[in-house]
C-alpha cells in the first residue's frame, strides 16, 4: 500500500529491491487511492511491477494476479497476451452440450458465439483506433463474461487484460492486447470446431 504508515510503499519497494536475490525479485503491485498524473511512472521507477487504484476492480485484480502467477509481470514492459490458461475448458463445453434444449443445434450455438465474438473484437479494434478506451473497456468486460460462460479460457483472460489496460487509459497496452485477441479468437475457433467435430462423432457412434 502506497500510504502505509512509517514506511510507504515506494520506500518499502526500494528496500526489497536492494536485497540479495531471489528475495529482490518478489513481485510488487502498488495499491493506491490516488492515481495522480505521473504516479505510474514513479511506481515503475521504484521497480514496482504495476499498480492498482482503489476501489479495486475485480477484473483488473485477477488480471494482475494471473500475470504474477504465470511469471509474466515485467517491470514496465509491454505485457504479452496470457497463454498460461488453457484455450478452452472441455468440461464447460460438455456441460453446454448436455443442457442444450432438445431441438436446438449445438453447431449453430457455437457459430453464434464465434461470430458474435469476432464482431465484438472488430468493434474493440475500432474503438481503440479512435481512442475510445472507455467504451472499448466496456466491450472487453462483456467479452470476458461471454467467453467465461462459454469456457473460452484464453479469450476471457485476454479480455480481462484488455479491460485493465483500458481502465488504466494505457492505449499502447490496449492495442497490444487487442492484437492478441484477434489471434486468440483464431486459435479458439480452431479448438472449438475440433471439439465440435469430435462431439458429433461420439454422438453418431
Instruction: With H, G, I as helix, E, B as strand and everything else as coil, classify residue 50.
Output: strand
Q: H or E stretch including 176?
A: helix 171-204
Within this chain, do residues 196 and 111 fall inside the same structural domain, yes or no?
yes
How deeply is 197 buried, as exposed, middle or buried, from its count of CB atoms within 10 A (0-12, 13-18, 19+)?
exposed
The Cα 41–Cα 14 span in angstroms is 14
Residue 9 contacts residue 1 (beta carbons within 8 Å): yes
Within this chain, do residues 138 and 197 fall inside the same structural domain, yes or no?
yes
Within this chain, do residues 100 and 143 fall inside the same structural domain, yes or no?
yes
pLDDT for res 126: 96
The Cα 17–Cα 47 span in angstroms is 7
Number of C-alpha atoms within 13 angstroms, CB side, residue 185? 21
The Cα 194–Cα 186 span in angstroms is 12
Within this chain, do residues 42 and 128 fall inside the same structural domain, yes or no?
no
φ, ψ for residue 191, nearest 5 deg: -65, -45
User: What is the CA 33 to chain-centroid distance, rounded?
Assistant: 22
Within this chain, do residues 95 and 143 fall inside the same structural domain, yes or no?
yes
CATH number for 107: 1.20.120.160
Instruction: With H, G, I as helix, E, B as strand and everything else as coil, classify residue 30.
Output: strand
Within this chain, do residues 27 and 100 fall inside the same structural domain, yes or no?
no
Instruction: With H, G, I as helix, E, B as strand and everything else as coil, classify residue 149.
Output: helix
Enclosing domain of residue 27: 9-56
Question: How many distinct structural domains can be found in the chain?
Answer: 2
Residue 165 within any structural domain of the chain: yes
Within this chain, do residues 107 and 182 fall inside the same structural domain, yes or no?
yes
Residue 68 within any structural domain of the chain: no
Tens place of pLDDT for every residue, the chain, 205 residues?
777 777 788 888 888 888 876 677 777 888 777 655 566 677 777 788 777 777 776 566 666 666 665 554 444 444 444 445 578 988 888 888 887 776 568 888 899 999 999 999 999 999 999 999 999 999 999 999 999 889 899 999 999 999 999 999 999 999 999 999 999 999 999 999 888 888 777 766 6
pLDDT for res 15: 85
Amino acid at each position: 500500500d502506497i500510504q502505509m504508515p512509517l514506511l510507504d510503499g515506494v520506500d518499502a519497494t526500494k528496500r526489497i529491491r536492494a536485497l540479495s536475490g531471489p528475495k529482490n525479485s518478489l513481485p510488487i503491485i502498488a495499491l493506491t487511492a490516488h492515481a495522480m498524473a505521473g504516479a505510474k511512472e514513479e511506481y515503475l521507477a521504484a521497480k514496482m511491477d504495476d499498480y492498482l487504484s482503489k476501489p479495486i476492480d475485480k477484473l483488473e485484480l485477477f488480471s494482475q494476479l494471473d500475470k504474477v502467477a504465470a511469471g509474466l509481470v515485467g517491470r514496465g514492459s509491454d505485457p504479452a497476451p496470457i497463454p498460461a490458461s488453457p484455450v478452452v475448458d472441455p468440461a464447460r463445453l460438455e456441460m453446454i452440450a448436455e443442457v442444450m434444449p432438445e431441438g436446438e443445434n449445438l453447431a449453430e450455438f457455437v457459430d453464434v458465439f464465434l461470430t458474435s465474438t469476432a464482431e465484438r473484437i472488430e468493434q474493440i479494434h475500432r474503438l481503440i483506433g479512435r481512442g475510445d478506451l472507455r467504451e472499448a473497456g466496456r466491450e472487453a468486460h462483456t467479452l470476458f463474461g461471454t467467453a467465461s460462460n462459454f469456457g473460452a479460457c484464453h479469450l476471457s483472460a485476454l479480455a480481462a487484460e484488455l479491460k485493465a489496460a483500458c481502465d488504466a487509459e494505457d492505449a499502447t497496452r490496449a492495442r497490444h492486447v487487442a492484437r492478441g485477441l484477434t489471434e486468440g479468437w483464431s486459435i479458439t475457433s480452431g479448438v472449438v470446431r475440433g471439439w465440435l467435430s469430435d462431439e458429433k462423432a461420439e454422438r453418431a457412434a
